[in-house]
Structure 1
Amino acid sequence: MSSGTASSGAGSDDDHAPWPSPLIRDLVDELRRFNRRKTEFYAESVLEASAFAIMLVLSDGRARTLRELTEELGLEQSTVNRQVNNAIKHGYLERFEVAGSLSRFVRPTDTGREAFHHDGMLRAARIEATFADLAPGTPEGLLRELRAFNQAYDRRVLRETGKDVEATGEHRRYG
């Protein structure tokens, strides 16, 4: 599959199968490539990718239950439980009880917040360097387009499935 720009139309009419067009095929490919970025390795990072993802969800300052983390991360509960336990073992997260709740909550420790800040700065530096190399694109333009795309996508999922997108955290704004 091409990782470049949309096809020029060369080749047979079904070069883009099973997609309805070369444009859709190339968009799917670019979204797949973009999705891989969430697990990219940073040589100086402190947190594993899974711990960073958990910390990103918790970066709004609100503690979560394991069930809430599972929903917001879109993973199986056993996977999130294993990831949370690993982050607790390394001192990045802690569980605590809340009066009146049967579930325990998870929140970052000071060590976790420091590690998240450190690793967040690594990611920010890579993004800034990428935009410095990208002309004429801007971070504001990309954010505007990604936000509009994600909001429209969430609306489509809601219409097609009746799924409560708002409750899943899929609409979250990180910036």
Structure 2
Amino acid sequence: MPDVGDDSFWESPVYRDLAEELLRMSRRRTNVFPGARLETSAFGILWTLSDGRARTLRELGEELDLEQSTVNRQVNAAIKHGYLERFEVTGQLSRLIRPTALGIEAFEHDGKLRAERLVRVFSDLTPGAPDALLHELRSFNDAYERTIARQHQQEHAAR
């Protein structure tokens, strides 16, 4: 095992630096916005549901890439706070989850806080453009998801 300071396993210094920047970004997921009403997990669930389509716990877990126990715990916490509700659909075994009016209001409130912060960040970023970053991040995430899907296919084929 290489010692902590050994960077020899990186294909290039750029890859190492990219990994470091991605780690910096991932640490911000737990960042609390002053005045926010929602925990990060509740915001993520409400973001997923913001397309207007209710989902089962399983669907939420798949879309958020979370273990079933984790998504169940997070959904239950959001229900307890009044942000989500479960409801039954005739002919369907699993109950669906949707935002409540309180959840929608809190999501819009916290979404505005996040949007305002991005405006401030991009006004401080020179040179830089949000559309260029969006293009590169979307391309990166698409390629990342394709890579993970191929790895899963190879793992299943090897079994």
1:133 lines up with 2:124 in the alignment: yes
2:97 equivalent in structure 1? 106
1:78 lines up with 2:74 in the alignment: no
CA distance in 2, matches of 1:73, 1:150: 14
In structure 1, what residue type is equivalent to 2:137? Answer: L
Deviation of 1:21 after TM superposition, in Å, equals: 2.1
Secondary structure of 1:52's match? Answer: helix
Secondary structure of 2:126's match? Answer: coil
2:157 equivalent in structure 1? none
CA distance in 1, matches of 2:27, 2:90: 40
Secondary structure of 1:95's match? Answer: strand
1:27 lines up with 2:13 in the alignment: no
CA distance in 2, matches of 1:26, 1:102: 47
2:54 equivalent in structure 1? 63
Question: In the alignment, is the contact (CA less than 8 A) between 1:47 and 1:116 conserved in 2?
Answer: yes
- Structure 1: gaps of 5 or more residues: 1-13, 164-175
Report which of the two has the higher share of helix. Answer: 2
1:17 equivalent in structure 2? 8
Question: In the alignment, is the contact (CA less than 8 A) between 1:15 and 1:22 conserved in 2?
Answer: no
Q: What is the TM-score with the length of structure 1 in the denominator?
A: 0.81
1:161 equivalent in structure 2? 152
Residue by residue over 1:38-67, the C-alpha shift from the partner in whole angstroms, topping out at 9 and shown as x without a partner, is 221112000011111111111111111001
Q: What is the TM-score with the length of structure 2 in the denominator?
A: 0.89
Aligned length: 150
Secondary structure of 2:86's match? Answer: strand
Deviation of 1:72 after TM superposition, in Å, equals: 1.1
- Structure 2: gaps of 5 or more residues: 155-159
Percent of aligned pairs sharing the same letter: 61
In structure 1, what residue type is equivalent to 2:16? Answer: R
2:142 equivalent in structure 1? 151
2:115 equivalent in structure 1? 124
Q: What is the RMSD of the two structures over their aligned residues, measured on CA atoms?
A: 1.5
- Shifted more, 71-80 versus 46-55: the winner is 71-80
Question: In the alignment, is the contact (CA less than 8 A) between 1:38 and 1:49 conserved in 2?
Answer: yes
Question: In the alignment, is the contact (CA less than 8 A) between 1:95 and 1:107 conserved in 2?
Answer: yes
